[in-house]
């Protein structure tokens, strides 16, 4: 959406902005801003922000919610049903947040944290029977379609994606940034009902396709 908006604004009015999207997930994104944060606006999961920047040291403040993404807990049913013993959690992520909340997690379950999203494909294949994994899309949809995983009843959790602004956005006489924010929100609302052509733009973005493949638990990187 942002790249499409950038092309249209550039062609019609000469206004340009830069989109940064190099990190594979929300936690990595907020971690990357610790050394330097010069973004005017940022979008990411609120849960990852809370766990990565609990002390509010980043110069980012909440503007408002944008959308929600479903997250579920799946139990491995490989070979046998097994006794639920461990729950695999990606550290400082929305999965970690759900684990702390305790939603649909047995009290006897032991946390098994991992810190590298690149091990997800191996984890999906090797997770012991009876162990659980907290997953959001696209991995959640993949596990839902597999016979060796079953979704835990009432484990549905909403990951909250929010729009954040740099502290300077909220200062007086920042009309260009505030005007851009108005355009951004208008475009976001419009795209919720009309999103034709956006997937073609995403398919040209190798970084996105790579992150999507890893997030789906796939070892292969799709051709763009």
> What are the structural domain ranges in the chain?
2-68+159-215, 70-158
The answer, yes or no, to whether residue 9 has pLDDT greater than 80, is: no
Tokens coding 45:
């999961």
| pLDDT confidence bin for 196, thresholds 50/70/90 | low
The answer, yes or no, to whether residue 169 has pLDDT greater than 80, is: yes
The two domains 2-68+159-215 and 70-158 share their CATH topology (first three levels equal): yes
Neighbouring residues of 212: CB distance < 8 A, sequence distance ≥ 6: 138, 222
pLDDT of residue 75: 92
The rounded distance, in Å, linking the Cα atoms of 209 and 63 is 28
The answer, yes or no, to whether residue 194 has pLDDT greater than 70, is: no
Q: What angle do CA 135, 147, 86 make, to 5 degrees?
A: 45
pLDDT of residue 220: 55
The highest-confidence range among 21-30, 159-168, 200-209, 215-224, by mean pLDDT, is 159-168
pLDDT digits (tens, 9 = 90+) for 199-217: 666 677 777 777 777 777 7
CB 66 within 8 A of CB 188: yes
Give the class (CATH, top level) of 70-158. alpha beta
What is the CATH topology of the domain spanning 2-68+159-215? D-Maltodextrin-Binding Protein; domain 2 (3.40.190)
| pLDDT confidence bin for 60, thresholds 50/70/90 | very high
pLDDT of residue 195: 63
Q: Is the pTM of this model over 0.85?
A: no
pLDDT digits (tens, 9 = 90+) for 79-124: 655 555 799 999 888 999 999 888 888 888 889 998 887 788 888 8
Express as a percent the part of the chain with pLDDT over 90: 27
pLDDT of residue 150: 94
């Amino acid at each position: 959406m942002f790249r499409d908006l950038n092309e249209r604004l550039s062609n019609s009015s000469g206004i340009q902005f830069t989109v940064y999207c190099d990190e594979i997930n929300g936690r990595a994104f907020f971690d990357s801003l610790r050394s330097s944060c010069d973004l005017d606006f940022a979008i990411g999961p609120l849960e990852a922000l809370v766990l990565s920047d609990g002390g509010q040291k980043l110069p980012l403040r909440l503007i408002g919610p944008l959308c929600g993404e479903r997250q579920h807990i799946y139990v491995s049913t490989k070979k046998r049903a097994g006794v639920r013993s461990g729950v695999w959690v990606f550290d400082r992520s929305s999965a970690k947040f759900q684990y702390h909340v305790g939603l649909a997690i047995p009290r006897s379950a032991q946390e098994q944290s991992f810190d590298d999203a690149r091990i997800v494909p191996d984890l999906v294949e090797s997770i012991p029977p009876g162990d659980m994994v907290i997953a959001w899309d696209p991995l959640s949809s993949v596990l839902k379609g597999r016979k060796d995983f079953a979704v835990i009843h009432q484990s549905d959790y909403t990951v909250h994606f929010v729009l954040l602004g740099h502290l300077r956005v909220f200062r007086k006489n920042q009309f260009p940034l505030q005007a851009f924010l108005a355009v951004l929100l208008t475009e976001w609302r419009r795209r919720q009902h009309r999103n034709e052509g956006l997937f073609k733009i995403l398919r040209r973005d190798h970084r996105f396709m790579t992150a999507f493949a890893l997030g789906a638990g796939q070892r292969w990187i799709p051709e763009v």
